[in-house]
RNA sequence: GGAGCCGUGGUGUAGCGGUUAACAUGCCGGCCUGUCACGCCGGAGAUCGAGGGUUCAAAUCCCUUCGGCUUCGCCA
């Protein structure tokens, strides 16, 4: 009995037709003389009625079926009797009267309910992921993901891009995340690395003259996991030649408009606003600011540089800054709530958190006694404080202050429910620094990656003041999540070599690790640039999920295990021998 | 590597030194011809994540360990 229809294809227009459905028993309601079964397939549910008056055989079979049995049902579509329609069901106006049924397979009772909004330990869902994915919301997440990717492919194909695959077995590179390594059997003692991104390959495709490349690329990074980080994840990887920043930004905005239209039927406005890195760090304390709410951070350094309060003055004397955040209406916070904010601050690297409650006719604060009335007045004015507000202050080096107040800004927004979950707020972050100093390695490291071009006018700074050098890089931020980023690349050998040297890579290492790229740049490398999107994160936002695990079919746990397959696992001595590998005793 | 939360019938919870380990749901059986969270009656199902300790007595207190989640570090 092969299906003639999907469950939800049936509606009042199908009344009178004989149809065959294939699917799973969702629920069965046995009334003794009449049995109702909700039949589920990928499309949804339809009610099947088993009546002995219609068919004795299938009625008796239906007495024995259970949840998740796989069945084929032939039956007649009828209108439901008056007052028995179910408005909650897409097919609620009709039902199928079974004239015959075949049980295609039995099923054990599943370990959790096959329905939306279940509350079970995630480890159970991951162990039985194939059952978890039967749940409509998970199925819909995967279908939405498919639509997003298809929309991207269609868009880029329409813009004359060529989809090209690059190697999964590739070369380990020194910069960036920890590599996943694959031992080479043919070359004992040598290893491939799985790509952290197809970065160099896509640039070389530009040297090859492909001009417009994209790929739905799996990337691998052996770092610790988070709700939005898996060791393998999927990027939409794009690279183009003979373009500048604006070409890419426009291309991507057009793509986002199409993707949201195709996948969610939502219209988004463009152009997206642009924010410089410096401005974002100052006002929002983050390089991925959530702009769905205001709560801007205020610079107070000049204003408070000669106050008596040691915490402020010594931070400033040490080259740091003092900034404030007006948590509007939070003056009613209890001491406990304020202490929680202080803990968040210290957990994120602050030494403490100063605060002032602005009451109707007084200021409550442990620090106010250190301020002159003039200072107090100036602070109140700078933060536009009103009675009922809570003012938070952080004093430290610039990075710590920005981070701490940025996190508190998000925390306050959460507590005050300032975030409209329906909103889609895109912005571009531009003018990133090219490099930052890594005190652990006591050298500069690339903020984006070492192939990012410095701004033309800043190239000289590479020698004199690398920290001040800006990059031709841009990130796309959606609701406070970095969903994509890219840059105009270096395409000249000399500049690329200079960049590597600024990163303190030795000549030999440069030659060993990147020699092939530098060689390529000597054979007519066009100016080029590109961008990459985190598809998992984008789909996570589109589906309103708290974790990318919910939009990946078979994700890993926080321990980087697959609970379903029990990977990773030991391998046989034979396999190790062939690879000339020996594991150390535990 | 650090911090926090969680772990009790299949599932979700309650119990927090002495209980016959409770409740809901699911499961099994019976009844039921208009349900859709079907209803009613009955039943089975737990060595309380694992190991050790304290105690006359441990699901409950302590230690260790395992697993899941969140997070800091890490993630060009």
Q: Where on strand B do bases come within 7 A of a protein Cβ?
A: 1, 10-13, 26-28, 31-39, 67-76
Do the beta carbons of residue A499 and residue A518 sit within 8 Å? no
CA of A69 to C1' of B57 (A): 48
- Asked, as a colleague might, if the bond just before A455 is cis with ω within 30 of 0, I would say no
Closest listed residue to residue A489, CA positions, set A535, A520, A534, A443: A520
In whole angstroms, give the CA distance from residue A23 to residue A71.
6
Q: Whose C1' is closest to the CA of A125: which nucleotide?
A: B68
For A340, counting Cβ atoms within 10 Å of its Cβ (0-12 exposed, 13-18 middle, 19+ buried), the class is middle
CA of A123 to C1' of B11 (A): 13
| Strand pairing report for A94-105 and A44-50 | parallel
Burial A485-517 (b: 16+ CB within 10 A, else e): bbbbbbbebeebbbbbebbebeeeebeebbeeb
A344 touches strand B (CB under 7 A): no
Query: Which tokens in the block code for residue A11?
Result: 């509606």
Tell which phi-psi region holds residue A211, choosing left (phi > 0), alpha (psi between -120 and 50) or beta: left
Q: Whose C1' is closest to the CA of A176: which nucleotide?
A: B76
Burial A156-178 (b: 16+ CB within 10 A, else e): beeeebeebebeeebebbeeeee
Closest listed residue to residue A333, CA positions, set A356, A349, A352, A354: A356
In the β-sheet with A390-396, what is the strand arrangement from edge to edge? Answer: A297-299, A321-327, A390-396, A354-358, A363-364
A176 touches strand B (CB under 7 A): yes
- What is the per-residue pLDDT across A398-443, written as a single tens digit (0 to 9) for each? 999 999 999 999 999 988 989 998 999 999 999 999 999 988 888 9
Q: Whose C1' is closest to the CA of A81: which nucleotide?
A: B34
Sequence-distant (6+) residues with CB within 8 A of A115 are A135, A136
Helix crossing, A507-520 with A493-502: angle to 10°? 150
pLDDT at A585: 65
Distances (CA, A) of A356 to A321, A328, A350, A405: 18, 12, 17, 15
For strand B, which residues in window 488-517 of chain A come within 7 Å by CB? none
Q: What is the dihedral of CA A505, A225, A549, A479, to 10 degrees?
A: -70
DSSP A568-583: S----HHHHHHTT--P
For strand B, which residues in window 33-52 of chain A come within 7 Å by CB? 33-34, 36, 38, 47, 49, 51-52
For strand B, which residues in window 121-160 of chain A come within 7 Å by CB? 121-124, 126
Distances (CA, A) of A62 to A27, A32, A58, A255, A404: 12, 11, 6, 50, 62
pLDDT at A586: 53
In whole angstroms, give the CA distance from residue A77 to residue A4.
12
For strand B, which residues in window 419-448 of chain A come within 7 Å by CB? 440, 445-448
Q: Residue A73 is inside which H or E element, if any?
A: strand A70-79
**Interior CA angle at A400 toward A397 and A402, to 5°?**
105
A32 touches strand B (CB under 7 A): yes
| Strand pairing report for A473-478 and A363-364 | unpaired
A566 touches strand B (CB under 7 A): no
- What is the phi/psi pair of residue A394, to 5°? -125, 135
Residues of chain A with pLDDT under 70: 585-586
A111 touches strand B (CB under 7 A): yes
- What is the per-residue pLDDT across A545-557, written as a single tens digit (0 to 9) for each? 999 999 999 999 9
Q: Whose C1' is closest to the CA of A452: which nucleotide?
A: B76
Distances (CA, A) of A424 to A151, A253, A536: 18, 13, 17
In whole angstroms, give the CA distance from residue A303 to residue A310.
14
Distances (CA, A) of A368 to A354, A375, A390: 10, 10, 13
CA of A350 to C1' of B16 (A): 37
Do the beta carbons of residue A291 and residue A188 sit within 8 Å? no
Of all protein residues, which has its CA closest to the C1' atom of B13? A119
pLDDT at A339: 86
Helix crossing, A398-415 with A277-284: angle to 10°? 60
In whole angstroms, give the CA distance from residue A518 to residue A229.
32
A528 touches strand B (CB under 7 A): no
H helix and E strand count, chain A: 17, 22
In whole angstroms, give the CA distance from residue A486 to residue A482.
11
A368 touches strand B (CB under 7 A): no
For strand B, which residues in window 51-110 of chain A come within 7 Å by CB? 51-53, 66-67, 80-81, 83-86, 88-89, 92, 95, 109
């Amino acid at each position: 009995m092969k299906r003639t229809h999907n469950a939800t294809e049936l509606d009042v227009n199908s009344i009178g037709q004989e149809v065959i459905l294939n699917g799973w028993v969702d629920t069965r309601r046995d009334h003794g003389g009449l049995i109702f079964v909700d039949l589920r397939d990928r499309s949804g549910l339809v009610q099947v009625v088993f009546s002995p008056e219609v068919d004795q055989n299938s009625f008796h079979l239906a007495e024995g079926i259970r949840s998740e049995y796989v069945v084929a049902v032939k039956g007649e579509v009828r209108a439901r009797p008056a007052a028995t329609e179910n408005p909650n069901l897409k097919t609620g106006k009709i039902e199928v009267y079974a004239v015959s049924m075949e049980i295609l397979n039995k099923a054990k009772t599943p370990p959790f309910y096959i329905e939306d909004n279940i509350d079970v330990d995630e480890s159970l869902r991951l162990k039985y992921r194939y059952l978890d994915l039967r749940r409509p919301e998970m199925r819909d997440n995967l279908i939405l993901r498919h639509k997003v990717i298809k929309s991207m492919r269609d868009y880029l194909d329409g813009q004359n891009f060529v989809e090209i695959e690059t190697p999964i077995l590739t070369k380990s590179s020194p910069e960036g995340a920890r590599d996943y390594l694959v031992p080479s059997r043919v070359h004992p003692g040598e290893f491939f690395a799985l790509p952290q991104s197809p970065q160099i390959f896509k640039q070389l495709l530009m040297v090859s003259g492909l001009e417009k490349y994209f790929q739905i690329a799996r990337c691998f990074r052996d770092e610790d996991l988070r709700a939005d980080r898996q060791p393998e994840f999927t990027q939409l990887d794009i690279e183009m030649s003979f373009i500048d920043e604006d070409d890419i930004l426009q291309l991507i905005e057009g793509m986002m408009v199409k993707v949201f239209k195709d996948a969610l039927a939502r219209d988004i406005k463009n152009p997206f606003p642009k924010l410089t890195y410096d401005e974002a760090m100052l006002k929002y304390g983050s390089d991925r600011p959530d702009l769905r709410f205001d709560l801007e951070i205020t610079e107070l350094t000049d204003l408070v540089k000669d106050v008596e309060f040691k915490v402020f003055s010594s931070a400033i004397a040490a080259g740091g800054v003092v900034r404030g955040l007006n948590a509007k209406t939070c003056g009613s916070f209890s001491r406990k709530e304020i202490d929680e904010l202080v803990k968040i601050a210290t957990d994120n690297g602050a030494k403490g958190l100063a605060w002032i409650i602005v009451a109707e006719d007084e200021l409550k604060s442990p620090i106010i006694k250190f301020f002159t009335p003039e200072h107090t007045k100036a602070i109140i004015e700078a933060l536009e404080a009103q009675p009922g507000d809570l003012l938070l202050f952080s004093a430290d080096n610039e990075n710590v202050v920005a981070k701490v107040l940025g996190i508190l800004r998000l925390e306050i927004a959460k507590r005050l429910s300032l975030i409209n979950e329906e909103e889609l707020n895109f912005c571009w972050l531009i003018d990133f620094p090219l490099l930052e100093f890594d005190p652990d390695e006591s050298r500069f490291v690339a903020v984006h990656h070492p192939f990012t071009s410095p701004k033309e006018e800043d190239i000289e700074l590479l020698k004199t003041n690398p920290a001040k050098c800006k990059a031709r890089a841009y990130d796309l931020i959606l609701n406070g999540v970095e969903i994509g980023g890219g840059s105009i690349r270096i395409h000249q050998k000399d500049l690329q070599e200079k960049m590597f040297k600024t990163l303190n890579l030795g000549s030999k290492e440069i030659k060993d690790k990147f020699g092939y790229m530098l060689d390529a740049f000597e054979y007519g490398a066009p100016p080029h640039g590109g961008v990459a999107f985190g598809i998992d994160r984008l789909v996570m936002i589109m589906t309103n999920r708290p974790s990318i695990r919910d939009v990946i079919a078979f994700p890993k746990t926080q321990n980087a295990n697959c609970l379903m397959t029990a990977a990773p696992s030991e391998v046989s001595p034979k396999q190790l021998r062939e690879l000339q590998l020996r594991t150390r005793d535990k």
